[in-house]
Structure 1
Amino acid sequence: MNNKIIGLILIVAGVALALWGYNIYDAAASQVTRALSGDTPVKAWVGMVGGAICIVVGLSRMR
Structure 2
Amino acid sequence: MNNKIIGIVLIIVGVALAMWGYNIYDSASSQVTRALSGDTPIEAWAGMAGGVIAVILGITRLK
TM-score (norm: length of structure 2):
0.99
Identity value in percent: 68
Alignment coverage as a number of residue pairs:
63
Unaligned stretches of 5+ in structure 2? none
Unaligned stretches of 5+ in structure 1? none
Aligned to 2:25: 25
**RMSD, matched Cα:** 0.2
After TM superposition, the runs of 4+ consecutive aligned structure 1 residues lying more than 4 A away are none
Aligned to 2:14: 14
Counterpart CA distance in 1 for 2:29 and 2:11 is: 29
What is the DSSP-based 3-state SS (H/G/I as helix, E as strand, rest coil) of the residue aligned with 1:60? helix
TM-score (norm: length of structure 1):
0.99
